[in-house]
Chain A
Amino acid sequence: MTAARLEVSGLSAGYGPTRIIEEVSFVVPAGGRMALLGRNGMGKTTLLATLAGQTKRHGGTVALGDTELTALDGSGRALAGLGYVPQSRAIFKSLTVEENLFVGLKDRPKTAIEEAYAMFPRLKERRRNLGSQLSGGEQQMLSTARTILGQPAVLLLDEPLEGLAPVICEELMETFAHLAASKAMTILLVEQRIKAALDFAESVVILERGRVAWQGTPAALAAQPETVDRLLGVGH
């Protein structure tokens, strides 16, 4: 599957009757990379879960290229090309690394898991280890690799660096940058490590109480330190 444009228009959603995100709109061009930023509790994870079809949508639309995703459930969206790496990583802990990767193959041949090992050589070393025996970084690599094996057109990454050692963060960000450079998939990254996210992204959306509070490029954001301070709670 090749990279596709992700278009979100007037999206409102939440859990049951509770609305968490309101009237969110943005576009990520095919092969583009966007960072979704905001302080804790501003709806970033809910937005990604909504895009993946896992929350209750109250309004708005989501489209992947020419395909309208709004009416599809999570499984349908994944089949349409949306790959979601959740914050919880959601690996299968009683399966080995290799077995976890098999689950992500969909109908691809078993040999395709070599792509995952090429991306994350550490996983090959640990291929016989159970998911429960992996470090946080390795679990993140596994969750990401398993999703990428499904060849999504758009990859949603929810705080992939959370709780990881700096050296692992660098390794992961290098892989994401490599993926993005290949233009094989469009990437939407939610991340609390603002510098890493801005270094990676071509465009930025900042959420404030579930609404889009700012949109622009990383360079434009860097030129507005008061915006960074106000919306992200960090000084420049």
Chain B
Amino acid sequence: MSRPIRDLIAVLVLAAVAVVLFFLFPTNLALLTRIVAVMLLVLSLDLVTGFAGVATLGHAALFGAGAYAAGIAAAKFGITDPLLMLAIGAVAGSVAGALSSLVILRGHGLSQLVLSIAVVQLAHEAANKLSAWTGGSDGLSGIAPSALLGMFRFDLFGRTAFIMAVVMLLLVFVILRVVVRSPFGMLCRGIKQDPTRVRAMGAPVYSTLVKMYAIAGAVAGLGGALSAIATKVVGLDSLSFNLSAEALVMLVLGGTGKLFGAMLGALVFVWFEDRISAINPFHWLTVVGVLLVAVVLFAPNGLTGAAEAIWKRLRRARS
């Protein structure tokens, strides 16, 4: 089966899942939209960590940059067109990604992790201090996106937001599939495996990673802008260390370097978190912790890795 056909099938499957969810959970569309926004953040993290091997615990800074940029554009400058807000979020995320990469990529291993944490903490503190623009710890409110394409208003049930989110996710997914399979994407994977070898081949390691960070920033920024449009508020939690760490957990849960893994990890984690916290508001974090320990112990390559292993075993047994 050729790659374009496989991609088409993948998009159709994702669209079908979205349609099923839309009709199956009509009262939970706000949660599903939040899941899509988080999926974009985790996809972005997959680009830099799963494909390019950069260790980061500060990726929410890019998500938050997109969320605040879109929110400020709407609340302070009256730019309420949702597509324009998404574009502003993507650009802000991309700029934030490129700038933060200039710092983060100076380190390696543990020092890289520490630098990434410093970046997200600085961004968090800056957003807190710039309360005239960001609303500080109260959050940025007054975001009122206008009707999508001038026709579809953002309704109380979140139908418009969810459909827009799904369409955007599918577009991003297709674009990222092209990116990760391009010579540029292969170069990133080569850098992840052996940066010394890539350098010896005359390929630029640093600037390639900065470019990948800029692309990843655009994706995370889109997620942030989507979150701002859907919830009409932006809080400091959108660029917190906590969200960064959770995104990494979601990526590990789904499986790194696969794109699908990022989406699956976000879906399972956020959905599970929501359900368990509703069932047991006092001990849900314990249950989530046990789940993660189980996944890391029994499916170290994440849920997609485990699914691939089972699929291969079945095929071998059949042949």
Contacts and interface: CB of A to CB of B under 8 A. Distances in A.
Partners in one complex: yes
Nearest to B198: A103
A94 B203 CA distance: 19
A92 B203 contact: no
Contact of B202 (A90, A99, A102, A150): A150
A95 B189 contact: yes
Nearest to A88: B197
Interface in A86-123: 86, 90, 92-95, 99-100, 102-106, 110
Nearest to B257: A94
A106 B203 contact: yes
B281 interface: no
B301 to A, nearest CB: 12
B197 A99 contact: no
B201 A78 contact: yes
Most chain B beta carbons < 10 A, residue from A52, A75, A79, A99: A75
Contacts of B28: none
Interface residues of B, number: 18
A104 B194 CA distance: 13
A75 B200 contact: yes
Contacts of B189: 92, 94-95, 99, 103
B107 interface: no
Contact of B183 (A79, A93, A102, A147): A102
Nearest to B187: A103
Contacts of A73: 199
Interface string A119-161: 0000000000000000000000000001100100000000000
Nearest to B183: A102
B193 interface: yes
Interface residues of A, number: 28
B313 to A, nearest CB: 18
A92 to B, nearest CB: 5
Contacts of A86: 197, 200
Interface string B171-204: 0000000000011001101100110111111111
Nearest to A146: B201
Given A75-B200, A84-B200, A105 B193 contact: no
Contact of A103 (B183, B196, B199, B204): B183
A50 B287 CA distance: 55
Nearest to A112: B183
A60 B77 CA distance: 63
Given A90-B197, A110-B183, A103 B202 contact: no
A105 B197 contact: no
B200 A54 contact: yes
A94 B196 CA distance: 16
A10 interface: no
Contacts of B190: 92, 95, 100, 103
Contacts of A75: 199-200, 202-205
Please name the 10 residue pairs, one residue from A and one from B, whose CB atoms are nearest each other, closest first. Answer: A78-B202, A102-B186, A102-B183, A103-B190, A79-B202, A75-B199, A74-B200, A90-B197, A99-B186, A103-B186
Interface of A: 52-54, 73-79, 84, 86, 90, 92-95, 99-100, 102-106, 110, 146-147, 150
23 contacts: A54-B196, A74-B196, A74-B200, A75-B199, A75-B200, A75-B202, A78-B199, A78-B200, A79-B202, A86-B197, A90-B197, A94-B189, A99-B186, A100-B190, A103-B187, A103-B189, A103-B198, A103-B201, A103-B203, A106-B201, A106-B203, A146-B201, A150-B202
